[in-house]
Amino acid sequence: MPGLGASFGRGGATNYLEDLANSDCIVIEGSNMAECHPVGFQWVGEAKARGAKIIHIDPRFTRTSAIADLHVPLRMGTDIAFLGGLINHVLSNDLYFKEYVVAYTNAAALVSEDFVDSEDLDGMFSGFDPESRTYDDTSWQYQPEEPRHSGSDDPAEAAELDRTGEDPSVKHADRAQASGSGGPPIPAKPQRDDTLQDPRTVFQILKRHYARYTPEMVAEVCGIEPEVFAQVADWVTSNSNRERTTAWVYSVGWTQHSVGAQYIRTCSILQTLLGNIGRPGGGIMALRGHASIQGSTDIPTLFNILPGYLPMPHALQHSTLEEYVADAAGKAGFWGNKRSYMVSLLKAWWGDSATAENDFAFDYLPKINGDHSSYRTIADMIEGKVSGYFLVGENPTVGHPNGRMNRFGLANLDWLVVRDLQMIESATFWKESPEIETGELAPETIATEIFFMPAATHVEKEGTFTQTQRMLQWRDKAVEPPNDARSDLWFFYHLGRILRERLAGSDDPRDRPLLDLTWDYPTHGETQDPSADAVLREINGTGPDGRALSTYMQMKDDGSTTGGCWIYCGVYADEVNQAARRKPATEQGVVASEWGWAWPLNRRMLYNRASADPDGKPWSERKKYVYWDEAAGEWTGADVPDFEKNKRPDYVPPDGARAQDALAGTDAFVMQGDGKAWLYAPAGVVDGPLPTHYEPVESVVENALYKVQANPTVERIPGPWNRENPSRSEVFPFQVTTYRLTEHHTAGGMSRTLPYLAELQPEFFVEVSPELAKLRGLTHGDYATLVSARTAIEAKVLVTERVRPIRLRDGQVVHQIGMPYHWSYSGISTGDSANDLLGISLDPNTHIQEDKVSTADIVPGRRPRGPELIDFVEEYRRRAGVASGRVGLNGRDPVAADAGEGSTL
């Protein structure tokens, strides 16, 4: 998300799935699309049928590779080196799209003299603080064309936000994600050199940064032969120009790394240099893994953001509404209206109680001051700092890495509410988990009180999912849920109602936010199910006349408008639920604008102003999409223009212009403060303005490019329950990756319980190469045991040439193991849980864990049972020089537990 947000201004897929059919070349990397998004994959098939080249880059040969024209196996965890190699190829051979790059990117921007690149500091950028392990990014900024913050309504306050923004408690609070719709704030537009020759231009810095990422280096780091690299480079560059476009497709194979956001940044740089963003058949297709992952960040249940990617107020920075908006007020771009979006949200939540006099109840919002993400919270649970936990359709003891640590967290709560369809493992850990078998947990020692609350299925409630291309689709309710099963909407609405009744009459100021909350939703039916339609209308927002708004441009900062999520404004335009539209595909154009509704403002392809040249003419007839109609004085074309409809292509902002008026007619990236796609990110990414190859936290290979082995800002959560395998350890000599199967869904609660699916994929297995099988004496169809510093698990062995050892140029052979992560002990199809093997180390931008690459040992046979399992793993830790993983009562720190300490509850 921050990868796309910081590059282009919005954290969403730039194009739509059907548009893949318009591609001339499709590169799928970090995704097994045919397996995990099989129905979406039909559009790759359409492209292939029209003659497009399909390239699959993946450590494993998969169902996607089988359809591709070329499968490129690379060593897992090396995508930045590979993509950096392509960037170097494009720059050194002048293969970039010159006019596009000059007009629509920040290539010409000048960067501060103080910036020092990682090439000159052996893997570090300027500004690193070894104590907090964070960067001060002041030196990364642009050379400003005007005094910093001079365009701001309150320059002093904006500068103060810049200063406090460097505090580690802010750095650890995932600010980058707040650029999900509106790029990171910058203090001023940069000085430019449109010839791109000045050594301080982004273009020249980029050239120097990737100069050593040669085909030979790619071979050494990734294990890709130079002739294969050349083939990929040729197909990609020959299909990226005025007439042709290349699309890149990724999924969690990229995000789940210690440098995950930077993977996506590297791809963004490459696709921007090639001129593929905002054009049909181009773009970056982010494939989300669940029905409404995109929706769950747009309207987040995430600690660091509010709906519409407004940041959660930070205690250090945002004590008033004025301070909260100071980094945006008066600035160029649509983020310049941040105050209107925020005031409309506050009005939606607190209605008449939010007034100009009380700062629109801004003070009602709780403040964050650090990392409050889910893994940190699990560690806090083990330390007895958290009383109660709601699990709402999530099964973390199977679906999240390090199941053992997760179970210890749950075992130290006062109470746990689990809302699900089936009796999932996260609800039964107290009597059936692997730690019951080892004796580390027992029902008699676990005080956690558990409520299992049955949930409604997708056909038993109404509401919207936001799918992978930012499109909301409404579902009607087909039948009532059985017995006590209820929708989550019902649960939270009625819980809120009961809590408000309990506190009615309270004069404690702490209770005002709850008592003043707008919470009157119409209900219907015997169970008094609240109306999701009414909630969607609140999300959309209303104007002074009480009518639904049709665009966020109507939002005001004076309290006269409401809107629960500004980027979804328009989904209820004209008092019509636009997400429920179902005009058949055959009755409308290829863009299918009347099926569902996409944010923002039903624009199906983002940044589509860039599908035309700076003068507003299509780059070519073949790739015509959105263009300027001089006679009509407006932008027109197949899609809703992602640009102000009547802003001329030759518009130049007058001095003192603000918000969108400060963007020129060629500033196609309208959510960015400078209107440009960012090749170089002067802000918004905490681990570097340019992606740099680091080895994974758990790697068997030494970093060939820099002395710094792994991302210096990676976040760790140390404890006996989260030990790390040392890099280049002979004890853990193999690389492991995890993945999904078509026939199962994530933690399995929605698939291992279904007979059809359990029959199709009946047991847990691991994929190993014939070479590794021979090396370790593994037999196809027999059991093997995998061991890490966390635990040991067993699985059936699948010996296959689909995974192959990677031979590096120095002769080192890297063996890779693949394992699907769907299994655990409940349901029809059962097995050990792959995620139990994995540790938790986190991308500092996103707090997403690195589970697409780790290390382990593999040996033939089944794992030890009972307490012997603890001794078995402890012996591995001892041999690898890792601290003990033994725990005390319920997983607490052994010393403290022995001393009778533990939960502070």
Partner 1 sequence: MTAVKTWLESWPVYRQLTGSDPFGRGKAARSMATEAVVSRTATADRVVKSVCPFCAVGCAQNVYVKDEKVVQIEGDPDSPISRGRLCPKGSASKQLVTSPTRVTTVKYRRPYGTEWEDLELDTAMEMIADRVLEARRKGWQDTDDEGRRLRRTMGIASLGGATLDNEENYLMKKLYSALGAIQIENQARI
Of residues 248 through 287, those in contact with partner 1 by CB under 8 A are 256, 287
Sign of CA dihedral 469, 255, 799, 779: negative
Question: In whole angstroms, what is the distance from residue 12 CA to residue 294 CA?
Answer: 8
Tokens linked to 330: 């008066």
Tell me how crowded residue 652 is: count the other CB atoms within 10 A of its CB. Answer: 9
Indicate which single residue of 127, 289, 860, 894 sits in contact with partner 1 (rule: CB under 8 A).
Answer: 289
Q: Where are the alpha helices (DSSP H) in 191-312?
A: 202-210, 215-222, 226-238, 252-255, 260-273, 293-298
How far apart CA 268 and CA 83 sit, in angstroms, is 10
> Contact between 592 and partner 1 (CB under 8 A)?
yes
Nearer to partner 1, 388 or 867 (CB): 388
67, 116, 159, 315: which one binds partner 1 (CB under 8 A) = 315
Closest CA to 844 of 130, 135, 82: 135
Kindly give the residue spans of alpha helices, DSSP state H, lying in 75-116: 79-92, 98-104
Indicate the residue among 564 and 844 with the shorter CB distance to partner 1.
564
Query: Interface with partner 1 includes 451 (CB under 8 A)?
Result: yes
Min. distance of Cβ 174 from partner 1 in angstroms? Answer: 9
Q: Does 453 bind partner 1 (CB under 8 A)?
A: yes
DSSP readout, 644-693?
-TT--TT--PPTT--BGGGS-TT---TTSTTSSB-SS-SSS-TT-SS---
Applying CB under 8 A, among 202, 232, 441, 489 the residue interacting with partner 1 is 489
CB of 217 to partner 1, least distance (A): 32
CA separation for the pair 353, 358 (Å, rounded): 8
Task: Please count the residues of this chain forming the interface with partner 1, following the rule CB under 8 A.
Answer: 164
Let me know: does 761 contact 798? Beta carbons within 8 Å: no
Residue type, 817: I
Nearer to partner 1, 87 or 299 (CB): 299
Report which DSSP code applies to 481.
P
Q: Which stretch binds partner 1 (CB under 8 A): 96-104, 463-471, 616-624, 656-664?
A: 463-471
Q: Select from 133, 207, 494, 556 the one that contacts partner 1 (CB under 8 A).
A: 494
Q: Which run of H or E residues covers position 327?
A: none
C-beta of 61 vs 465, nearer to partner 1: 465
Among 76, 472, 705, 817, binds partner 1 (CB under 8 A): 472
Pairing status of strand 634-637 against strand 626-629? antiparallel
CB of 599 to partner 1, least distance (A): 10
Q: Which stretch binds partner 1 (CB under 8 A): 268-276, 336-344, 470-478, 809-817?
A: 470-478
Helix ranges (H only) for 439-554 are 488-503, 512-515, 532-540
Among 218, 299, 342, 548, binds partner 1 (CB under 8 A): 299
Sign (positive/negative) of CA torsion 66, 70, 74, 79?
negative
Sequential DSSP letters for 569-588: TTTTGGGS-GGG-B--GGGS
When the beta carbons of 132 and 527 are compared against partner 1, the nearer one is 527
Q: What x-and-dash track marks residues 593-632 binding partner 1 by CB under 8 A?
A: --xx------------------------------------
HSE-up of residue 458 (Cα within 13 Å, Cβ side):
9
132 binds partner 1 (CB under 8 A): no
**417 to 436, contacts with partner 1 by CB under 8 A?**
417, 420-423, 427, 430-431
| Closer Cβ to partner 1, 390 or 783, answer by number | 390
Q: Does 447 bind partner 1 (CB under 8 A)?
A: yes
Residues 350-409 that bind partner 1 (CB under 8 A): 363-369, 372-374, 377, 380-381, 385-396, 399-400
Q: Tell me: does residue 480 bind partner 1 (CB under 8 A).
A: yes
Q: Is 484 exposed, middle or buried (0-12, 13-18, 19+ CB in 10 A)?
A: exposed
Q: What residues between 846 and 865 interact with partner 1 by CB under 8 A?
A: 846-849
User: For partner 1, which residue of 301, 507, 546, 881 counts as binding (CB under 8 A)?
Assistant: 301
Is the Cα dihedral 470, 476, 479, 482 positive or negative? Answer: positive
* Residue 520 near partner 1 by CB under 8 A: no
Closer of 418 and 856 to partner 1 (Cβ): 418
- Tell me whether the omega of the peptide bond preceding residue 600 falls within 30 degrees of 0, making it cis: yes
Asked whether position 449 contacts partner 1 by CB under 8 A, the answer is yes
| The one among 176, 264, 398, 471 contacting partner 1 by CB under 8 A | 471
Q: Is 66 near partner 1 (CB under 8 A)? A: no
Contact assessment for residue 844 and residue 711, using Cβ atoms and an 8 Å cutoff: yes
Strand ranges in 849-894 using DSSP code E only, listed in sequence order: 854-860
Which H or E run contains 33? helix 33-36
Which C-beta is closer to partner 1: that of 239 or that of 593? Answer: 593
Among 50, 98, 582, 617, binds partner 1 (CB under 8 A): 582
Q: Which amino acid is at 161?
A: L
| DSSP summary character for residue 829 | S
Query: H or E element: which one contains 494?
Result: helix 488-503
165 is an interface residue for partner 1 by CB under 8 A: no
Give yes or no for residue 485 binding partner 1 (CB under 8 A).
yes
The dihedral sign for the CA sequence 772, 768, 61, 58: negative
CB nearer partner 1, residue 395 or residue 711: 395
CB of 351 to partner 1, least distance (A): 12
Nearer to partner 1, 394 or 674 (CB): 394
Nearer to partner 1 by Cβ, of 288 and 609: the residue is 288
Residue 822 contacts partner 1 per CB under 8 A: no
Tell me which residues in 1-60 interact with partner 1 (CB under 8 A).
16-18, 36-40, 42
Which of the 8 DSSP states describes residue 737? E
Q: Interface with partner 1 includes 716 (CB under 8 A)?
A: no
Candidates 56-64, 216-224, 293-301, 647-655; binding stretch for partner 1 (CB under 8 A): 293-301
CA 856 from chain centre, in angstroms, equals: 26
State whether the Cα torsion 366-367-372-377 is positive or negative.
Answer: negative
Give least dist CB 780 to partner 1, A.
25
Shortest reach from residue 868's CB to partner 1, in Å: 25
- Choose, by CB under 8 A, the member of 155, 351, 513, 894 that binds partner 1: 513
Of residues 191 and 523, the one with the C-beta less far from partner 1: 523
C-alpha to C-alpha distance for 456 and 393, rounded to whole angstroms: 10
| Residue whose token pair is 């082995």 | 709
DSSP state, 313? P
Query: Which has the closest alpha carbon to 615: 666, 571, 687?
Result: 666
Residue type, 660: Q
What are the Cα distances from residue 424, in Å, to 258, 376, 558? 29, 23, 48
Rank residues 104 and 821 by Cβ distance to partner 1 and give the closer one.
821
Pairing of strands 246-250, 134-135: unpaired
From the CB of 871, what's the least distance to partner 1, in Å? Answer: 27
Q: Which stretch binds partner 1 (CB under 8 A): 62-70, 135-143, 217-225, 462-470?
A: 462-470
Output the smallest distance, CB 498 to partner 1, in A. Answer: 4
Whichever of 591 and 662 has its CB closer to partner 1, that residue is 591
Give residues 760-789 in contact with partner 1 (rule: CB under 8 A).
760
- As measured in angstroms, the least distance from the Cβ of 289 to partner 1 is 6
